[in-house]
Amino acid sequence: MYPSEFRYSKDHEWIRVAGATGTIGITDYAQKQLGDVVFLELPEVGRRLQAGEVFGTVESVKAVSELLSPVGGEVVEVNSDLAQKPETVNTDPHGAAWMIKVKLDDGGSMAELMDASAYEAYVQSAAK
């Protein structure tokens, strides 16, 4: 259910790493918990993030939630399409609804993240 090439945080963000760049978004589980997404606030390119730091917010019909970076690095790209189509988070959370790309700091914070099977078990235990 969750892409195996991604890594996942306990805060329900995912990251897909290619070389020195990580693409970050929220998981399918997170978007289902939020409901219909109506607005996103994302950071500026050039902003430096620490692992666990708030990088933006996602607003749904139910609530406003903080987005937490699963890794440290510098924001090098922001998915500006989400400003016009925030509902993409609900329809394609692991694809077109990526939120930011970061140039990774050293890979140390990746060790804290779960693989797909561990994340699926985590989500199932949370649902109980």
What pLDDT, in 10s, does the model give residues 43-53? Answer: 999 999 999 99
Nearest-angstrom CA–CA distance, 16 and 24: 7
The predicted pLDDT at position 11 comes to 95
* Domains (range + CATH), the chain: 7-123 (2.40.50.100)
Amino acid at 22: G
The predicted pLDDT at position 48 comes to 96
Specify burial of residue 54 (Cβ count, 10 A radius: 0-12, 13-18, 19+). exposed
Q: Is the pLDDT at 122 greater than 90, yes or no? A: yes
